[in-house]
A and B are shown apart, each in its own frame.
Chain A
Amino acid sequence: MLRVDDIQLAFGGVKALSGVSVHAKTGMITAVIGPNGAGKTSLFNVVSGFYKPQSGRVTLDGEDISGLRPHQRAYRGMSRTFQNIALFHGMSVLDNIKLGAHTKLKSGVLSAGFRLRLTRSEESELSAEIQRDIIGLLELDRVQHHPVEDLAYGLQKRVELARALVMKPKILLLDEPVAGMNREEKSEMSRFVVDVRKNWNTTVLLIEHDMSMVMGISDHIVVLSFGKPIASGTPDEVRSNPEVIKAYLGAGDELTPAQKATAGARSQ
């Protein structure tokens, strides 16, 4: 499905990514973990086409998409959420979600302005589809007409997920979807991600710090540290990898004491 090969990315002197490769297999949840500043978000930005790496390749379904602009990648079925919530203020929840379907619709300005049949039918289909597949799944029915900036943080994250989902992406990139959430919200969000994969067979690439989520739902994990891949494998393999434990313990503040304890305990 999505392959990232040997990416080198530097900002001036700072090497954000050196030699990173990730393979997200069809229908799987692949997680990218690593301490803050490890380059995870930069990797996502390379994949979405927002950063141009100095070298390396990104391929989607066998097609080299390294040279494509971000919107062209979206048209090929790539969708994502952002670490720092990036919703569009001044629009309702529903309109934010609809924007996520931009690549699926065809209306141009004339068709839209004169409300031609094309626009009428695709808008009503989209609305129906959102009500049917998204609003219920993510439990957003009560807030769908609210201005998005009025929602609480956890709900905003959910709207972002909804916006990324409407296009029924082939590959979905989630950048820290549960950061800053409480335990209950976290388990809800994990469930949404698993449901999405199950219902639509979407391939997911996930960045997350929350080890219980990552270990619980991922099929494959890649660990980055200071822009370098230091380990990869199944959750169990990664958990017991000494390099990983070192990187995490070295970073200190990355894990809560409880998580450190589990990570440590597992490795012994």
Chain B
Amino acid sequence: MVSNVQTPAVPASAPMFGRTFLWSCLLIAVLLALPLVAPRYWVYFAGILGINIIATHGLNIMTGYTGLLSLGHAAFVGVGAYTVALAQLHLGLPFYIAIPLAGCAAAVIGIGFGLPSLRIRGLYLVIATLAAQFILNFVFVHWQSVTKGDVGLTVQPATVFGFPLNNETRVYYLILFCLVVATWFAVNVIRSRVGRAFIAIRERDLTAEVLGVQIVWYKLVAFALGSFYAGVAGGLLAYFNQFVNPEQFGLLLSVFFLSAVIVGGMGSTLGAVLGAIFMTLLPEFLREGALAVGGTFGFDIASILVPLREAVFGLLMVAFLILEPRGLAQLWKRARTRFSRSDNVA
């Protein structure tokens, strides 16, 4: 309980869009310049990071803001990736159509799985998304005639006015553009009527309904929007890797996105960004660490990297849920308050 509500202190969370805007511009400028100064590997890495952030935004909209737990996010990313691959292979569609199409395909398929259970409360949606994870992956593997099964599909580079995006740097700019739009869009949705409805449903759906929120509709919107983000991320991934196969979209990737949302802080757009960054960097550190340890003691570390990752993802998920459910975003906020306070004193 706040006891000092009488003192007209600086509002705890007054909007500060002006400053945020400046910082965002600065950040975008840095990201634009990155390929000019950084080694190729970094650019590749930044591209993956951007894709992961977009997908995490999607899951954060559904799970973090609206409280709709999805265990099958990776499968919807897969739908987007295959949509791009197929749209290009068979229809020769350009990327500026193929990528929105990837988002729409994921949204439509997502609704197909989610609709029956979105109408009711409880765990049913969780099961439906789990079903989506396994069934879609099954389709990727076994619908040989379309997906080429485990072999996968190759994707030709996207072209902009005849200019092929055929290396990491060029696709990186496409990803960066989508990332900026996706983040801006998510922030806007959340600070609008729609976003308020999402949070209200997460917190107290029945109260929200009495106040005029059509809960089934908004759950549907959140689910479709989240899947759309997943589809876009998948589409970008297809262009980035120029290659799509089922292995990329397994349960482990769903666990990855879920832990990114949780670690970052559920229901925070900043959290989705921080979580995705953290979770993408982590395996790299794990690998470096494991290789160092392996080198010292002379065992073959490479083989344990995948399970190590799985264990650490799970561990972080559990630890944050128990210890800091509001995630890195909260830690960040706390650090900033402390920082600005010492600023004022100085």
* Contacts A70-B209, A71-B214 given; does A112 touch B194 at CB 8 Å: yes
What's the least CB distance linking B205 to chain A, in Å? 10
A152 near B5: Cβ-Cβ < 8 Å? yes
B-chain residues with CB within 8 Å of residue A145 when the two chains form the complex: 11-14
Find the A residue at minimum CB distance from B11. A145
Most chain B CB within 10 A, of A79, A108, A142, A163, is at: A142
Q: Are B8 and A142 in contact (CB under 8 A)?
A: yes
Would you give the shortest CB distance from B267 to chain A, in whole angstroms? 6
Q: Which of B1-49 contact A (CB under 8 A)?
A: 1-3, 5-6, 8, 11-14
Interface flags for A61-100 (1: CB within 8 Å of B; 0: not) read 0000000011100110001101000101111100100111
Q: Mark B231-247, 1 if CB is under 8 A from A, else 0.
A: 00000000000000000
Given A74-B212, A99-B208, verify A146-B2 contact (CB < 8 Å): yes
A112: which B residues are within 8 A, CB to CB?
188-189, 192-195
Contact A167 B13 (CB under 8 A): no
Asked if residues B193 and A86 are in contact (CB atoms below 8 Å), the reply is: no
Q: B135 at the A/B interface (Cβ < 8 Å)?
A: no
| Given A88-B200, A91-B196, A115-B188, A74-B2 contact (CB < 8 Å) | no
Q: Flag whether B171 is at the interface (Cβ < 8 A).
A: no
- Decide if A69 touches B209 in the complex (CB within 8 Å): yes
Interface string of A240-255 (1 = CB under 8 A from B): 0000000000000000
Q: Decide: A142 and B203 in contact? CB cutoff 8 A.
A: no
In the bound complex, what is the Cα–Cα distance between A115 and B1 (angstroms)? 35
CB pair A99–B211 under 8 Å, yes or no, is: yes
* Contact status of A88 and B199, CB under 8 A, knowing A82-B207, A107-B194, A145-B12: yes
**Chain B contacts for A146, CB-based, 8 A:** 2, 5, 11-13
Task: Tell me, rounded to whole Å, the shortest Cβ–Cβ distance linking A55 to chain B.
Answer: 22
Chain B at the A interface: mostly helix, strand, loop or mixed? Answer: helix
Interface residue? B339 (CB, 8 A): no
**B11 touching A113 by the CB < 8 A rule?**
no
Contact A103 B212 (CB under 8 A): yes
CA distance A69 to B214 in the complex (A): 9
Q: A109-B221, A146-B11, A151-B5 are in contact. Are A74 and B211 (CB under 8 A)?
A: yes
Asked if B200 contacts A99 (CB within 8 A), the reply is yes
Question: B199: which of A69, A90, A142 is its contact (CB, 8 Å)?
Answer: A90
Q: A71-B214, A99-B200, A151-B1 are in contact. Are A109 and B12 (CB under 8 A)?
A: no
Count residues of B near A (Cβ-Cβ below 8 Å): 38
Interface membership of A190, Cβ < 8 A? no
- Beta-carbon contacts under 8 Å, B261-311 to A: 267
Residue of A nearest to B9 (CB): A142
Q: Is the CB of B203 within 8 A of A88?
A: yes
Chain A residues, CB < 8 A from B132: none
One of B1, B12, B212 near A167 (C-beta < 8 A): B212
Does A200 count as interface, using CB distance less than 8 angstroms?
A: no
A112 to B203: give the CA distance in the assembly, Å: 21
B192 closest partner in A (C-beta):
A112
User: Min CB distance, A86 to chain B, in Å?
Assistant: 4
Judging by beta carbons under 8 Å apart, are A142 and B5 in contact? yes
Contact A102 B197 (CB under 8 A): yes
Bound CA span A123–B3, Å: 31
Chain B residue contacts of A48, Cβ below 8 A: 210
The docked-state distance in angstroms from the alpha carbon of A114 to that of B181 is 9
A150 in contact with B1 given A102-B212, A107-B193, A144-B11 (CB within 8 Å)? yes
A56 within 8 Å of B by Cβ?
no
Contact present for A71 and B11 (CB under 8 Å):
no
Contacts of B197 in A (CB 8 A): 99, 102
- Distance of A208 Cα from B186 Cα, bound (Å): 42
Q: Which 8 A-B pairs have the closest CB atoms?
A: A74-B212, A145-B11, A112-B192, A103-B212, A113-B185, A86-B207, A88-B203, A150-B2
What are 20 A-B contacts defined by CB distance under 8 Å?
Answer: A50-B206, A71-B215, A75-B212, A82-B207, A90-B199, A90-B203, A95-B196, A98-B193, A102-B193, A102-B197, A112-B189, A113-B185, A123-B192, A142-B8, A144-B11, A145-B11, A147-B13, A152-B1, A152-B2, A163-B211
